[in-house]
Amino acid sequence: MIEVLELEKEFPKKDGTRFKAVDRVSFEAHDGEIVCLLGVNGAGKTTTMRMLSTVFKPTYGTAKIQGYDIVTQPAKVRENLGFLSGDTGL
């Protein structure tokens, strides 16, 4: 099960302000369900997945993968979640 509660991610901008890439997202995905994140370019889909896969730490909120917290138990999360981004960064 994936549990996401008010997950938020901000990034600093060059002018000293902050850009909110993900704004308080909440959802649940139960075992066996197929879930899709839909949105326009820049909506925060990849950033959300990068937080869930422990690549980024959330600015606010929490999420659990199979009961393991993405911030305090990242190794356990990575054992229970596979994620392949469309953007490989190459």
43 in helix, strand or coil?
coil
Domain extent, residue 31, equals 2-80
**Whether the Cβ atoms of residue 80 and residue 89 lie closer than 8 Å to each other:** no
Residue 49 confidence (pLDDT): 94
Domains contained in the chain, number: 1
54-81: average pLDDT: 97
Answer whether residue 89 is part of any domain: no
Confidence check: pLDDT of 69 > 90: yes
pLDDT tens by residue, 13-59: 999 999 999 999 999 999 999 999 999 999 999 999 999 999 999 99
Reported confidence tier of residue 87, pLDDT bands at 50, 70, 90: low
Token output for 83: 């994620």
Answer whether residue 45 is part of any domain: yes
Answer whether residue 90 is part of any domain: no
Answer whether residue 86 is part of any domain: no
Answer whether residue 56 is part of any domain: yes
